[in-house]
Structures are given as C-alpha cells and as structure tokens.
Amino acid sequence: MRFKVVLMCCALAAVAGGCKKKGGGGGGGWFVGEDGMMMDVSHDGTLGEGYDLGASETLNAIACRYLDEAWVAGSNGTFLQTSDAGESWESHDLGTTADLYAMATQDAGPVYIAGDGVFFTANPDRATGAAQWTQLAEPTTNFRGLSAAQRGTTVLAVSADGGIWSYADGRLERRGTLAGVRAVAVSPDGTYAIAAGDGLARSVDAGLTWTPLAVDAALRFEDVRIDHAGEALAVGTGGTVARIDLDGRVLVQRVGTANLRALHVAPSTTYSGSGFAGGDGGQTWITHDSGWTWIEGPNLGRTVLGVDEIGDGHN
C-alpha cells in the first residue's frame, strides 16, 4: 500500500509539501520499526512526541546525511524523506511495491536503497528529494544489508542467500558468499568492513577478501557499525553486544535480554561515541562511550528495526 505521509498533529492541514510538526528537529536517535513506528530519543533518554505516519507499514531502515536530511525505507515500497531535520516527512514513489530492507547514504554522493529484487541509487535534490532512481538488481536477488563509505567510494551490500556485493562504476558485482550474513558495515574511508550474521567476518581490503572472526557459534548478529580505525560493534540475539578491535579480537557483553536488531554509534573521535541500540519489544539502550557501557532508554512499544541520528552524529 502506498501512502502520503500525514502527521497526526496536522492531519487536517496536510499539503503537497508535507505538514509540519511543531517543535520537531534533529539530534538524538531516530528509531523506526514495526507498524509504522518512528520515534526520536535524545542522548539523555528523553522520548520525543513521535510521528504518526497515517499507515502501519513496517519501517525497516533509516539513513541520514548532512545536518537535516534523512531517508526511511519499509515494506511495500515505502520510501520517506525529510529535509528539515524531521519536522516534516514526504513520501516518494520508487515505482515498486517490493519490501525495502536496507539503506545507505554518502554525504557528498548518492543514496542507496535495497530490498526484495531491487537495488536503487540516485543523488537526490537536497531540498525536495527529487531524483531519477536507477534500478540495478536482478529480480531474484533479495538484499538485506547495505553500507557506504562516507569519505570513500566503497559500497557493499549483502543478500539473503549470503552474497557479498559491491557497487562501483554504475554496476553491482557479487564478490563472494558468507553463509548466514545479515548486515554489513564499511569504515568511513572504505578500507575496513565487517559482515555480521551467523558469526562475524572482517575485510581489510574494501570487501575483496574476508576473514572469519573467532566468536561463539551460537551467537546471531543483526546489525553492525564500524569506525574510522576499523574497530566495530555488532548487536544480536539475547542482548548481545560484540566489540571488535583492529586485530579482529571479539569481546562480548549482554545488554538486557531482548534481541537487538538496530545499532548506531557516532564516531568516537569526532562525536564522543554517543549512540543507541534497540530491538524486540521496543526497548532502547544508550551509550556515551562507544558501546563500552549502556544505560536503559525508553521503551517504544514496538520492535525497533533501524536507527540513525539526524545531524552531526549520523553514519
């Protein structure tokens, strides 16, 4: 189902450009998830007012860039954009009803969206989000994860059959297979990458080759982030948080008991390592030291599937 974004606070005054939410704005973690859930949580744990999108489509991913721009992708071709730090949201038509699962952005480059049988890329207008989207994927390739280097050219994606894919020079190329992979993260310069799923694997050559990391085989990871130095965090089942150092060593801790499905931590050298995690049941967690310690955040009531930060601290 396609829908026009309508915020509950101004449902009677909706206009083509999207309606405004008084007091909106960026900063903090922006969480998306089941049943159209979109909520913002500040770094001190304060829960924002939330956004009623007027529909119950599952929102699977959010990706932000610049100081005020964010994109959200979800089921049935749902594709949303804000250019005013979340005060209003606009729905865009990609010409597909496929479920969209993954997104990535580059500050000085394109936006990427991927899902069931689709992989789109474009460089949208910053003010309006208008773009000519190029579709690259084969109909039989179902993507589940996507990451793009902020200061480099590396763009990697993972597919449901364990495929590791690279986007470059206008085309997708399958580089290999890692069984059970569900998420991928690329360092800002594009050199390092971590693949997460039924285990962890690491690349030091922009995803050309991969080395499995030593970790408990019973752990299942759902999301991963990596910093400029190649150190990473991954989250997964039963509140698992894994720290991965530059030598590929893995340190595992537990944060609560719920499965964690989404993670965002701003680069520690620039933004003090503040970040967020969330997952089943809507429980959120907040860190101020790049994931070494966590404090309990508000419960959002619905399963969290994606998180990023509008403003300086975005991926």
| Domain residue spans of the chain | 33-308
Structure tokens at 313: 């601290």
Please write the tens of the pLDDT for every residue from 28-64: 899 999 999 999 999 999 998 777 776 789 999 999 8
What per-residue confidence (pLDDT) applies to 314?
61
pLDDT at 265 over 70: yes
Domain 33-308 has CATH 2.40.100.10: no
In this structure, are residues 107 and 150 in contact, taking their beta carbons and an 8 Å threshold? yes
- Residue owning tokens 């989207």: 133
Distance CA 229, CA 98 (A): 36
Q: How sure is the predictor about 300, in pLDDT bands with cuts at 50, 70 and 90?
A: very high
What per-residue confidence (pLDDT) applies to 40?
92
Whole-model pTM? Answer: 0.89
Structure tokens at 182: 């569900």
* b/e 172-183 (16+ beta carbons within 10 angstroms → b): beebbebeebbb
SS3 52: coil
CB atoms within 10 A of CB 149: 21
CB atoms within 10 A of CB 142: 19
CB atoms within 10 A of CB 228: 16
Tell me the backbone φ, ψ of residue 10, rounded to 5 degrees.
-140, 35
Please write the tens of the pLDDT for every residue from 8-25: 232 222 222 332 233 344
Mean pLDDT of the residues in the chain:
87
Distance CA 181, CA 161 (A): 8
